Amino acid sequence: MNPLEFSIHSIKELRNLLRSPSEYNLIKTSGIVRGLIFDQNQPLQLAQNYSGKKFEFYVEYGDWGSSGDEEPSKAYVFMLRGHLEPIEHLSKVGIPEYGKLPVLQTNSKTFSIKDVIKYVANKRGGVHWDPHNLSEDQQDMERVSKIFSLNDQESILIQAGYIAENVVYSAVRSGYLSL
């Protein structure tokens, strides 16, 4: 299987898991995203090179606490559920930049997409289940996740799901996948 086929199958699996966004399915999406973008071999980057088709992530930049006069310095993952119309205010970023975008902020630290995905994948069961020996940063993510939950879903898992949805959305918009 070449990297393009592997990436397309992985993105389809993401889409299937997201159809029923249970806690378990949201955790599993983090393992797939980690494997596609953040593991050593980076199959999504290889798929882009293999196909010659640029993979771009569609995000909306948000302003977390600036006065409004300055350039927005933070971003969050943006996903339109079930709606794929072109939207002019979305920005496109490439694969290397995507993982650096901040998606979670505590009083002391801002966490990137890569931080959130690797934490859920490596500690919460997306790839490995190891809830012990959390770093200080991971403990911060846990605290924030439990405080800001929605419908009994921890915010870190919701965010992992939004990131996974964004990967699927961006695959459609980049021409890698059709609905």
Mean pLDDT score across all residues of the chain: 79
Is residue 44 pLDDT above 70, yes or no? yes
- What is the pLDDT, as a whole number, of residue 86? 52
pLDDT digits (tens, 9 = 90+) for 70-101: 333 433 443 333 344 555 667 888 998 999 98
**Per-residue pLDDT at 142:** 75
Q: What is the mean pLDDT of residues 30-37?
A: 95
The angle that helices 155-173 and 23-33 make with each other, rounded to 10 degrees, is 50
* Tens-digit pLDDT profile for residues 124-166: 777 777 777 777 777 777 777 666 656 667 778 888 898 999 9
Please state, for a pLDDT cut of 70, what percent of the chain lies above it: 77
Q: Which residue has the higher pLDDT, 60 or 56?
A: 56
The set of residues, in sequence order, having a beta carbon less than 8 Å from that of 133 and lying 6+ positions away, is none
Residue 169, token pair as written in the block: 């959305």
Closest CA to 41 of 49, 52, 51, 30: 49
The average pLDDT across 10-34 equals 93
107/135 Cα distance (integer angstroms): 16
Angstrom distance (rounded) from CA 59 to CA 175:
17
Is pLDDT at 115 greater than 70 in this prediction? yes
How many residues would you count in the chain?
Answer: 179
pLDDT score for 61: 60
Q: What is the pTM of this model?
A: 0.80
**DSSP bridge partners of 124:** 129
Q: Give the pLDDT band of residue 33 (cuts 50, 70, 90).
A: very high
In the block, tokens 């939950």 appear at: 149
Give how far the C-alpha of residue 70 lies from the chain's centroid of Cα atoms, to the nearest Å.
Answer: 26
Q: How far apart are CA 39 and CA 108, in angstroms?
A: 27
pLDDT for the residue numbered 72: 39
